[in-house]
Amino acid sequence: MKADNPRQLAKSLTSLNFDNRFVRELPADPDSSNQLRQVHRACYSRVWPTQVAAPQLVAYAAEVAELLNLEPAACESEEFAQIFVGNRLLPGMDPYACCYGGHQFGNWAGQLGDGRAINLGEIINQQGQRWALQLKGAGPTPYARRADGLAVLRSSVREFLCSEAMHHLGVPTTRALSLLLTGELVTRDMFYDGHPKEEPGAVVCRVAPSFTRFGSFQIFTWRNEIEQLRQLVDYTLRTDFPHLAGPSIGVYLQWFEEICRSTATMIVHWMRVGFVHGVMNTDNMSILGLTIDYGPYGWLEDYNPDWTPNTTDAPGGRYRFGNQPQVALWNLAQLANAIYPLIGQTEPLEAALQLYGVCYKQGWQEMMAQKLGLKKFEPATDLALSDELEKVLRLVETDMTIFYRKLVDLVPQDDQDDDSLIAPLLDAYYQPEELTDSHKRQISAWLRTYLKRLAQDGLSSAERRKRMNAVNPKYVLRNYLAQLAIDKAEAGDYSLVNDLLQVMRHPYAEQPENEEFARKRPEWARHRAGCSMLSCSS
């Protein structure tokens, strides 16, 4: 495709094959006004994106464009910017915002809904895959809850980059097609402390097979709108779980069991790479087991299971790193309560919730074996090995990502003293001078036990390196890296956004030319806003 041929560009964009099954098959809000209101007996409300002054492309993800059969020249065109900021609609687009409820920080919040997300529709690509397109920050909807429905560049950079970074890490996630400036300013009080300021407005186009959430079902049960609940569940089976048979109590249970399994898989991946979601409300949980809604997330840099990136969550730590598996189970229990009216039996739902625990335990053990380079997890020895490792990681401030990546460099030698044994790991410590002789003895004792365990498997060093480097990333979207990209972008320089996008496409590769992006958090970022803690403000 030639970049200078507007007709071909237009053809590429207009060839998107929209098949808006969601709005075609599910009950709509009869009120077409864009006014704040409670929406009853409806899955969605039709709403148009807000027109903006001067859309400008900051970045787009080439792999996501390929999923949609869009060529690079089309993504770099003015037409693309107008469409994916919400100024123009393509033929077949039928924009809407979804109605859902949810538990927020453990408390029922009632109706929530897409307050600043507007779905453009679903396309069927050339491979027959269904992809929903959603603009985040494109203006208010009936669910905006007195907010303006807009987003700022700060949070949009984070969502765009993290969606793609997580995908390339192998973590189930929604994707991001594009990040665009609106050309307008948005007022935000970043930490809700009475100091608002104007920030550049932005829109992210998110892409997923479905954006349906646990809260999508909860809202109907809470309102006793059981017919609408049944319609949504049956639609979800047809569309997102077509391998299951037609609706029946048995199939509903199979469906719930599958959600429990996929959620367990997702959480295991979060724990593997050190990701902390920060806002695991039930309205932020995908029925496809995808990571969804990148708000005040963070990466566990120094290993601290009690860390949460969310200022709102800091007092109780409900969504702290180490509590994520338990919160996911709690959220699944709320989904079980929501679909109970269709099943009418408690025991099989409880059995499915127990299945989550079994799947998570098995997945966690397999994951730990992979991170440590073991052929398989042997509970008789490896439970104690893992427990002691957690203690070792907490002795002094230890970078989780670097520690696991450097473990592969251990070389067993006879009569090795503690200092030489630990030497390959020194870069993982934020304050290596704080390693006392007692710390070194405890760390070295674990390392010697670990090396003996490795010897039992008999893997070659090359094979072990291959296995471990395939699951222990060298590059993650560290909080300070995202903030540096934001700082530059707010000054009109989008180079670091695109550089990080490229680096995070290959998180397990060495990339010697990009070593600077693998470094641990610098001291200046320890307490800086955006690098350590964030709010839900966007």
Give tens-digit pLDDT for 96-146: 999 999 999 999 999 999 999 999 999 999 999 999 999 999 999 999 998
Under a CB-based contact definition with an 8 Å cutoff, are residues 270 and 291 in contact? Answer: yes
Residue 5 has pLDDT above 90, yes or no: no
Asked if residue 343 belongs to a domain, the reply is no
Under a CB-based contact definition with an 8 Å cutoff, are residues 39 and 45 in contact? Answer: yes
Query: Residues 6 or more apart from 43 whose CB is under 8 A from it?
Result: 22, 26, 27, 28, 98, 99, 216, 228, 231, 232
pLDDT: which is higher, 319 or 245: 319
Which residue is associated with the tokens 């808006």?
20
Candidates 306, 520, 531; CA nearest to 428 is 520
- Using left for φ > 0, alpha for ψ between -120 and 50, and beta otherwise, residue 531 falls in alpha
Under a CB-based contact definition with an 8 Å cutoff, are residues 29 and 13 in contact? Answer: no
Task: Among 433, 458, 483, give the residue marking a domain's end.
Answer: 458
Please tell me the distance from the alpha carbon of residue 274 to that of residue 321, in angstroms, as a whole number.
8
Terminal Cα-to-Cα distance of the chain (whole angstroms)? 37
pLDDT tens-digit readout, 432-485? 999 999 999 999 999 999 999 999 999 999 999 999 999 999 999 999 999 999
Per-residue pLDDT at 8: 62
Percent of the chain with pLDDT over 90: 92
Per-residue pLDDT at 514: 98
Structure tokens at 521: 């958090």
Per-residue pLDDT at 193: 74
Q: How confident is the model at residue 1 (pLDDT cuts 50, 70, 90)?
A: very low
Per-residue pLDDT at 7: 60
Average pLDDT over residues 256-277: 98
Does the annotation mark 283 as catalytic?
Answer: yes
Per-residue pLDDT at 31: 97
How many CB atoms lie under 10 A from the CB of residue 15? 14
Asked if residue 275 belongs to a domain, the reply is no
33: Cα separation from own chain's centroid: 32
How many CB atoms lie under 10 A from the CB of residue 379? 10
Q: How confident is the model at residue 189 (pLDDT cuts 50, 70, 90)?
A: confident
Please state, in angstroms and as integers, the Cα–Cα distance from residue 214 to each residue in 110, 141, 301, 310, 331, following that order. Answer: 13, 20, 30, 21, 8
Under a CB-based contact definition with an 8 Å cutoff, are residues 342 and 230 in contact? Answer: yes
Task: Among 409, 442, 458, give the residue marking a domain's end.
Answer: 458
Domain, as residue range, for 117? 6-214
Per-residue pLDDT at 2: 41
Half-sphere exposure of residue 462, counting CA atoms within 13 Å on the CB side?
0
Asked if residue 221 belongs to a domain, the reply is no
Task: Among 413, 435, 458, give the residue marking a domain's end.
Answer: 458
Q: What are residue 18's phi and psi, to 5 degrees? A: -85, 130
Q: How confident is the model at residue 421 (pLDDT cuts 50, 70, 90)?
A: very high
Please state, in angstroms and as integers, the Cα–Cα distance from residue 313 to each residue in 299, 301, 319, 327, 435, following that order. Answer: 16, 18, 7, 13, 31
Structure tokens at 440: 């070194």
How many CB atoms lie under 10 A from the CB of residue 1? 12
184: Cα separation from own chain's centroid: 27
Residue 408 has pLDDT above 50, yes or no: yes
Please tell me the distance from the alpha carbon of residue 36 to that of residue 341, in angstroms, as a whole number.
29
Helix axes 324-343, 226-240, angle to 10 degrees: 110
As separate numbers, helices (DSSP H) first and strands (DSSP E) second, the chain gives 18, 12
Average pLDDT over residues 54-74: 97
Structure tokens at 152: 């700022």
Asked if residue 526 belongs to a domain, the reply is no
Which of 31, 114, 148, 283 is catalytic? The answer is: 283
How many residues belong to the chain?
538
Asked if residue 367 belongs to a domain, the reply is no
Please tell me the distance from the alpha carbon of residue 197 to that of residue 23, in angstroms, as a whole number.
38
Asked if residue 118 belongs to a domain, the reply is yes
Structure tokens at 108: 């029922």
Please tell me the distance from the alpha carbon of residue 475 to that of residue 169, in angstroms, as a whole number.
9
Residue 329 has pLDDT above 80, yes or no: yes
Candidates 277, 53, 197; CA nearest to 537 is 197
Q: Radius of gyration of the chain from Cα atoms?
A: 24
Residue 49 has pLDDT above 70, yes or no: yes
Half-sphere exposure of residue 199, counting CA atoms within 13 Å on the CB side?
24
Question: Into how many domains does the chain fold?
Answer: 2
Structure tokens at 476: 């993650």
Q: pTM for the complete prediction?
A: 0.96
Which residue is associated with the tokens 């903030």?
483
Asked if residue 336 belongs to a domain, the reply is no
How many CB atoms lie under 10 A from the CB of residue 386? 17
162: Cα separation from own chain's centroid: 7
Per-residue pLDDT at 503: 98
Average pLDDT over residues 221-248: 97
Per-residue pLDDT at 246: 87
Per-residue pLDDT at 462: 94
Q: How confident is the model at residue 10 (pLDDT cuts 50, 70, 90)?
A: low
Q: How are beta strands 44-46 and 151-152 bridged, if at all?
A: unpaired
Residues 396, 402, 406, 407: is their CA dihedral positive or negative? positive
Candidates 256, 263, 261, 207; CA nearest to 236 is 256
Query: In sequence order, what DSSP letters do the residues of 182-226 get, joined into one string?
Result: EEEEEEE-TTSSS--EEEEEEEEEEEES---BHHHHHHHHHTT-H
Helix axes 347-372, 379-393, angle to 10 degrees: 70
Per-residue pLDDT at 335: 98
Please tell me the distance from the alpha carbon of residue 267 to that of residue 328, in angstroms, as a whole number.
8
Structure tokens at 425: 């790991």
Residue 4 has pLDDT above 70, yes or no: no
Asked if residue 241 belongs to a domain, the reply is no
Average pLDDT over residues 298-304: 95
pLDDT: which is higher, 530 or 265: 265
Please tell me the distance from the alpha carbon of residue 340 to that of residue 218, in angstroms, as a whole number.
10
Average pLDDT over residues 20-38: 97
Query: In sequence order, what DSSP letters do the residues of 6-43 get, joined into one string?
Result: HHHHHHHHHT--B--HHHHHSPBPS--S-------S-S
pLDDT tens-digit readout, 198-224? 999 999 999 999 999 999 999 999 999
